[in-house]
Each structure stands twice: as structure tokens, then as C-alpha cells.
Structure 1
Amino acid sequence: MFKFGKGKPRSKVGKLIDKHGYTQENLVKASGVSRNTVSKVCSDPKYVPSPSVLKKIMKTIRSIEPGAKADDYFDI
């Protein structure tokens, strides 16, 4: 009846985790980044995290997409 994530604005990171069946909570636990920051990363396509947070997020993304680069997901 309802599709996961329908109607929510999503960034490239948000679309990636949705596509692979992960939740924002999975990303929080895997990356060690706060829930609020993960929410921003997954919903705001213009948000660019600090370098230390970016490194943690990208390490986690690479466990899903091994060849991923930061500029694939963030405007840096």
C-alpha cells in the first residue's frame, strides 16, 4: 500500500540507502554520525557535511558502493 520513503525529499545519499533497503538508523549505527546529521545528509541535496563527517559517511557508503566518490553524492 505505502512505499518506503514516498513523498519525502531525498538527497543522493538518501536515494542510495532507499535503493539498497537500508534505513537512516542503519546509517547512524554504521557511520557513528548523529541522527540529526544523517537526517540532513539523506534529505537535503545541498547539504555538505564537515570533512570528518564526510569521511565517516563515505566510508559507510563505500561498504554499499565500493567505487563511490564524495563528489558523486555531495557538491564539493
Structure 2
Amino acid sequence: MGLGKERSKFGRYLDAQSITQSKLAVAAGVPSSTISRLAQSDRHEPSYSVGRRLILTLRAEGYAVGDDDFWTS
């Protein structure tokens, strides 16, 4: 956050909402390395199941996110 690193749309969203990668990883049941990779660059996209799990977790936490807000697949 604010360290001059390249960030994906997903990463910028996490930053703007003050959502930590580690807490999201635990809540979604995915490795923190997966969250980190997805937050780095828009070149990275999750598998359908991981992307779906992340979206459903964010929604369960009260965030209004759409299925295609961050990734095309």
C-alpha cells in the first residue's frame, strides 16, 4: 500500500478498502501467496474456483463486488 509497487485492479481495491491480504486469504481458504500474486498485476488471473471463492468471501464480509469486477474469466 503506497510503496510504489505495481498493483492490479484487485490489489487497488483491497488497498482502498483496507482489506489485508492475510485476512482475506484465511477467510477465503486460499494461500496468502495467491492473494499476493493476484494483487500485484492485472496479468495474473485466478482459476474460476479461486476467483469465485474470493468474490463470495468479499460479499460475505459486506463488500459489494461483482463477478467481473477484477477478472475477465
Q: TM class by shorter-chain length?
A: 0.7 to 0.9
> Which of residues 13, 37, 40 is equivalent to 1:40?
37
**Which stretches of structure 1, 4 residues or more, deviate above 6 A after TM superposition?**
none
* Stretch deviating more after TM superposition (46-55 or 57-66): 57-66
**Larger of the two Rg values belongs to structure:** 1
Q: Counterpart in 2 of 1:65?
A: 63
Report the RMSD for the aligned CA atoms in angstroms: 1.5
More helix by share: 1
Q: 1:33 to 1:5 in 2, by over 3 A?
A: farther
Secondary structure of the residue aligned to 2:69 is: helix
Q: Counterpart in 1 of 2:18?
A: 21
Counterpart amino acid of residue 23 in structure 1: T
Counterpart amino acid of residue 6 in structure 1: L
Q: Counterpart in 2 of 1:11?
A: 8
Normalised by the size of structure 2, how large is the TM-score?
A: 0.81
Identity within the alignment, %: 33
Q: Which consecutive unaligned segments of at least 5 residues does structure 1 have?
A: none
User: Whole-Å Cα distance in 1 between the matches of residues 30 and 38 of structure 2?
Assistant: 10
Aligned residues: 72
Secondary structure of the residue aligned to 2:68 is: helix
